[in-house]
Structure 1
């Protein structure tokens, strides 16, 4: 089971996430949206959304660069494994608290308001609860990260993540002896990638792609005129 979850399941999750997103964009482009419920109830949305999105974005980028950037680069700039693990635990813990507070506010709003609950799909609610659970697992793992910082355990996760992307044989062996809390955190994270194409999370890709679309395509911008400049005669 360990070999399956950490040697095979990553490719299943990432494969479905990538190909499913492409298929959804090609097949159902009009469903590619965040389905905002702001018009139904604005209360709690602004604070909860800001805390949640900022916290999750910080954590995602931290994981992305922390796991996929080779450790030799960190060593070259003077950041050793112990310092990197402590920094990730403290900074990630702060961002995690903000994100989970915002997520709980958004979940309470979605579940308690009859109109929002009636217009929410199964995946709208499920993915939010999955993200909150993932954030909770991450926060639970913070004390373990701080306690084991001197052993540089973060190197194991870096070797595992980088090994997945270079199709390294027996990649699961890198994290075979890490605590269970880390393994649960990884499996749930991969599961979120697995269901990604079927949820509103796809709008995240639009956020990353928008700057490239704006600068490198002719249709990536809009021309907006003031009301005074608009022609008075509709025939014009």
Structure 2
């Protein structure tokens, strides 16, 4: 970092990201090594099934789409995107994809949040970490959706400075050359969303989110499972002649 680290901005966007990532990786490794019996999703479907399937599907598909979109959009080198599209087109793509997947996750997550706090059976069997996790994820999601009007304002004015600044900042963190000055002038709503998103990585090892590491990718490549049923046709026994053996 070129400026003094002893400023709130530099601490939040130059030091805090590495604290979150360190806890994320080391904490996940330690939990898997020492507490494997807690490495699970703890589904609440057995406690209450209504709306669970539709809420879970909308939420998970939305979150996966958001994660992949952020990963590709922020980690892809700028020269690669420049060869495919302009910065403004990149920004419009982020707005459209973020709106679609964000609303999907918001719909499903709102139902899951409501169930977690209002369903008596689920609430009583939930740990404080379970409630805080879904609350914080939804807060991060809402802050992300609130960035869309600002992004629309920039895009309609053909101003791509915000999106390129975010890309440069994220890549500076990944390349171990933190440059918080890249995002010093962006809108506050983006900074709030970044802080909330980084905090998700910080709390990750201490919550049920660790089950993400165990996604069944092997299922996609496994061979088809052939299931054959053995059907035996029985003749109906005459109820008036129960003593006579049935002729099968």
Matched residue pairs, number? 219
Q: Give 1:146 shift.
A: 1.3
SS at match of 1:195: helix
Which of 163, 188, 194 is residue 186 of structure 1 equivalent to? 194
Are 1:157 and 2:163 an aligned pair? no
Q: Once the 2 structures are TM-superposed, how far is the Cα of residue 227 of structure 1 from its aligned partner?
A: 8.3
- What residue is the counterpart of 2:59 in the other structure? 52
Separation of aligned partners in 2, 1:85 and 1:123: 35
Q: How does 1:14-163 map to 2 (within 5 A)?
A: 14-77=21-84, 79-149=85-155, 150-152=158-160, 153-163=162-172
C-alpha separation between the residues in 2 aligned to 1:102 and 1:124?
Answer: 16
Which structure has more helix as a fraction of its residues? Answer: 1
In 2, distance between residues paired with 1:81 and 1:10? Answer: 25
Unaligned 5+ residue runs, structure 2? Answer: 1-7, 231-248
C-alpha distance in 2, partners of 1:97/1:64?
19
Partner in structure 2 of residue 231 of structure 1: none
Runs of 4+ in structure 1 over 2 Å off: 210-215, 223-228
The CA distance in 2 between the partners of 1:94 and 1:214, in whole Å, is 25
Give 5+ residue unaligned stretches, structure 1: 229-236
Deviation readout 1:163-214 (Å, 9 max, x if unpaired)? 0011115x1010000000000000010011000001111111111xx33599
In 2: Cα distance, 1:80 partner to 1:132 partner: 31
For 1:17 and 1:214, the matched residues in 2 are separated by 27
Matching residue of 1:168? 177
TM-score (norm 2): 0.83
Where relative contact order (Cα < 8 A, 6+ residues apart) is larger, the structure is 1
After superposition, the CA RMSD in angstroms is: 1.9
User: Normalised by the size of structure 1, how large is the TM-score?
Assistant: 0.88
